[in-house]
Structure formats: C-alpha cells, structure tokens
Structure 1
C-alpha cells in the first residue's frame, strides 16, 4: 500500500495537536506482525494521550490508540497467518509504540492474541482495554473471596464509564445479586440499572473521609476512579473485604490510615492491564468470549475516525457513557 490514514499526535512549540493524516508503513513502529485494523476503541488513557503532560506519550510524533482488532496482513512469526483475526491491547501500544488509531498497525508478535471463538472483531473492541480491565478486577476480587453463593454487597465506582459499565454487566450475568452502582448524575440512574445494578448511590451521599473506620457497608469495591472516592470508601468495607484499584480519573493519591487494614483485614488489589503475560491474556479473552460475554448488550456506539475529537472531549469532561468503538473505512 502506498499510504493510509492515521491520527497523528505532534508537539509544536509546547502545544499538543492531533490530526488525521496520510502516512506510510515507514511511519509505524517495528514489529513482526502487520495488521489491517478493523476497530479500535476510546479509553480514558487515549484521552490522556492527547493532553499536554498527560503522562502517556513522551516522544512525538505518535499514533495513539491502546486497543485494536483486525486481520493479519503479514507476519514474520509463523504462529500468525495472513488473514487471521487478532486482538492487541496494552503493552506500549499507543504510548511509545504506534497504536490502533490507524488503518494499519505493526506490533511485536508477543503482543498479539488470536481472536477467540465467540467474539467478532467489533465485539472485541466493545470490550477492549476497558472490558479486559473489568475482567481482571472481577477475577482478582473472586480470588479474594467474592463468591456468588455468599451474596456479597459489591460497589462499582465509575459505574457508567467504560470499565464500570462492563463490570456491572458481567457481575449481573454471572449471578451476583447485590450490585451497587456509584453515580454522580440523575441521568445515570436508569443507565446503571439497565446495566445490572440492583441499587444506586450518589457520590454526594458518601460524605467526607473523616473517620478511620466507618460503618461497614460493602463487602467488595471494584474501584475505577481512585483519589478521594477510593479514600472515602476504604473505611466502609466489611471485615476481610477487598477493593480492586484500576483507575486514576479521581486522582492518584490515597489519604488513609492503617486501621482498616490492621483492624478489619481489608485488602487493596492493584489491577494492571498493560503488562499482563500473553498466556493470561488468552484465558481472559476466552472467558470474555464465552461465559462473560456481554458484548451484545453493552452500552456502545460506533464512530468514524473523523468523529474522534467529539468523543475525546466527552471523555475529558466526564460526559462519556459506556463504550465508543472506532470503525475504519477499510473494514
């Protein structure tokens, strides 16, 4: 191919800009597998990537996009064949390695996951990094005692965003009955309940974090926000309960005491979706393709690459609901 379209982020006079440009394969980072991209998706991290001092991209120019699904065009690694459908999420893609917001991507073979039976290329990006992170969070909480048979009270923060909305649906699908969604706005009530929440609570009802130990309200917290929200919720977790942490939209700092941990045995479970070993990725994607597959009911919409800026602004301003899938003209 002579040229193709990509979103390219540049730094000019300390200002960050991004535009749709025509590029060639020489503009892509190195890797064994060349992929014709069918879909990508918009994540909070993608929004940060195009902000000055966003902490995602350090070297310019760069093609953002931490997710993609598509078809192998060529591969120097014999485990992937021309025409094979694949998924790539995380690692350095869209950060220091050219990413998924382009019609073609080239990546190392060890980053590539074969598309499992049960998922389409679009389904894979309905999940994307958000769904993958939601699955990691749920698995981590389950390993720490979150069992359906115990009917635990589970609070999900950021419940109408990418990770939270998928977490609500998976939890509901696999049988949990006491799922509380933390929301901020009235219009999110019906959305959260449609996604599987059995109860909603407004962030304004949490109060301030004034006590080292508070009334025990939640057995498990799946937190996607961080900051003051996570700080306020820790003293509300039951004895022996756990909180998974996967996001920083609410800030990167926690201001707490040791008391919830040494007097109630609470666990904080860090969730990283970037550097998960490839074999673990395959098993998680297989689960998402089968018993945890909620792709058909997920709150999602499709946009073209030309419509990207509006969605980025919505994510930045906290007005984005569910998942937005980027569809390419070459699909």
Structure 2
C-alpha cells in the first residue's frame, strides 16, 4: 500500500482526497519509482480544484513532477536503485503522476537525476525551473546576449518567474520583474531583479505598439499581458511565451512582428526530446545558485497538498512548493 492524492469524478461530484492505494492499482509502465519528492504547480492546482478540465481520465493521481528511486524496471536504460526525475509527458493529466509515494511510468519519460542534485533540490527546481531554462535556451538560440539590453519577466513571484529572474541574473542580464505584489520587491531583488514594475502596467488592454522598453521577455501569463509585452519589445527583440496564468487568449495585433521584427517563441515544456531535457537540467545545475533554492521554496507534506493547491490558485503562494510525499 502507498499514500496518494486521488481525484475521482462521477455524474454527481468531483472529489479529491488523500488515500491509500494498492500497488496493483498502479497504471501500466515499464518503470516503478519510489517517489521521494514531488511539487505543486499551477496545473496541479487546476487539477485538484477542478476549476479547469486539466484531468483527462479518472481516477487520477495529480502531480506533473517527481523525483525518486527506481524500484523495479524492465526498461533497458534503468535499473533498481537508479535516481530519476520526470517533468511533463501528461502525467497528472492522462497518466498517474507524482503526488504519491509510488509511480509507474514509461521509462522514456524519465531522465537520470543529475549527480549534483538531491531529489529535494530537483523538485525545488521542478517544471518551473526547467521551463525557465527552456525559455532562456530558446532566447539564446535566437541570439540574445546580456549586451542586447534588459529582459522583462512577467509573473515574477511565481515559480517560472522566480527561476527566470535567478537564471538571467546569474548569466549577467539586467532583469525587469513585473509583479502584482509590490511588497515582494525585496525578494525579487534578492533573486537578481534590477527593476520592479507593477503588473497593472501590462494586464489591461493596451496599444498595438507601445514605447520600446525591453530587448526580450519571458512571459508565463498570456492574454493582455503577453500582448503588451510584445507591444513594448524593442526592434528585433524576442519574447518567450510559456504560460497562461491570466488567460489562454492573445488579444494582440501583428504590429510588433511586422513593424519591429519582434519574434514570439513558444515554449513547450511537456514533450521535449531526451537530449534537450538532459541539457536543460545540466545547465540548471550550474546556472542556478543552489543556495537560493531555500529562498524560492516552501516545503509541505502530502497531507497539506489539497489546501495549498487552492492557495496557489488564489495567488497566495510565492515561488515553489515542494511536496515531501512521505510525510
């Protein structure tokens, strides 16, 4: 038996509970992992609350991240005792995820846990840090360097935003952080932000073209915010879009793209090729000050996951939430 967060749905109710499950209930897969830590992401919050149709089959164990040790394996690349991690691949949506003490998965979804990281550190980084690194890698592939100018980060107090600031600052970029919580300005500056702006400057309908302000941006918000980010990007600038905290819509015009040559780069963190996932995690080991993880991270036990998921959706959580599934 193992403990798990379980989501069930029938014609009458959407139910989420902490329960005990039998190993025989685990889904199909060629690797069984004894999970040490998982995380609580925005998508997990949506799944647990039922406020958005994230879960595609029921019953479901949520949790899009996990790190742990291989218990059994018939996959050629993994053996009992190997330390592994997983981000994405639809776990927690269409396949049971990491908010449990055990997970059975396809080995092709896993990568080896970098030797420089503990399971807890890997989950302190999690999909949020991994996505932020994918954004930085995409911007760099398209020519961004610190000499190009300031980089804007929206959703700065969230997980992706926090890591984006830390990664950019460590690489020598000057970072503008957009936040709806001005009281957190000191936190953002400790991560490396040089300028703080109110998200209200970006979150309402704006002009097709605004004053040129930043050379590039990492946006995890979407909707009007992303439209205004593009409108304020300098000529030949770059915008990496990776989230939809404000909404999935994009109420913009083509003006920034055809009049200024702005490039909008879509970041899909869910199904990246193995080589790119490994590269991103290798870079995270050196591109982050691991001592900052405690600044960014809050740790909870599995039993606290459901109420904290609602706090996350209400915008009351700063940075990352790591879940110790064994307490």
What band does the TM-score fall into relative to the shorter chain? over 0.9
State the alpha-carbon separation in 2 of the partners of residues 53 and 185 from structure 1: 24
Count residues with an aligned counterpart: 325
State the alpha-carbon separation in 2 of the partners of residues 100 and 203 from structure 1: 32
Shift, 1:53, TM fit: 5.4
Q: TM-score, normalised by structure 1?
A: 0.95
| 1:311 aligned partner | 308
Matches within 5 A, 1:275-290: 275-289=271-285
Q: 1:170 aligns with which of 167, 171, 183?
A: 167
| 2:290 aligned partner | 295
Matches within 5 A, 1:45-124: 45-52=43-50, 54-124=52-122
| 1:20 aligned partner | 18
Instruction: Output one character per residue of 1:266-307: Cα deviation in whole Å (capped at 9) or x when no partner.
Output: 011000110101121111111112x21333212102110011
Matches within 5 A, 1:253-264: 253-264=249-260
Q: Secondary structure in 2 aligned to 1:296?
A: helix
Instruction: Output one character per residue of 1:215-253: Cα deviation in whole Å (capped at 9) or x when no partner.
Output: 100110100110111112211100000111110110011
Instruction: Output one character per residue of 1:175-234: Cα deviation in whole Å (capped at 9) or x when no partner.
Output: 21x200001122121121111101100022348544221110011010011011111221
Q: Secondary structure in 2 aligned to 1:129?
A: helix
Residues 225 and 248 of structure 1 are in contact (CA less than 8 Å); yes or no, is this contact kept in structure 2?
yes
| 2:36 aligned partner | 38
Residues 140 and 244 of structure 1 are in contact (CA less than 8 Å); yes or no, is this contact kept in structure 2?
yes
Q: Secondary structure in 2 aligned to 1:297?
A: helix
Q: CA RMSD in A?
A: 1.4
Residues 219 and 242 of structure 1 are in contact (CA less than 8 Å); yes or no, is this contact kept in structure 2?
yes
State the alpha-carbon separation in 1 of the partners of residues 4 and 271 from structure 2: 25
Runs of 4+ in 1 over 3 A off after TM superposition: 205-210
| 1:202 aligned partner | 198
State the alpha-carbon separation in 2 of the partners of residues 15 and 51 from structure 1: 12
Unaligned 5+ runs, structure 2: none
Unaligned 5+ runs, structure 1: none
Shift, 1:14, TM fit: 4.2
Residues 127 and 295 of structure 1 are in contact (CA less than 8 Å); yes or no, is this contact kept in structure 2?
no
Instruction: Output one character per residue of 1:147-167: Cα deviation in whole Å (capped at 9) or x when no partner.
Output: 02x151100000110100011
More helix by share: 2
| 1:243 aligned partner | 239
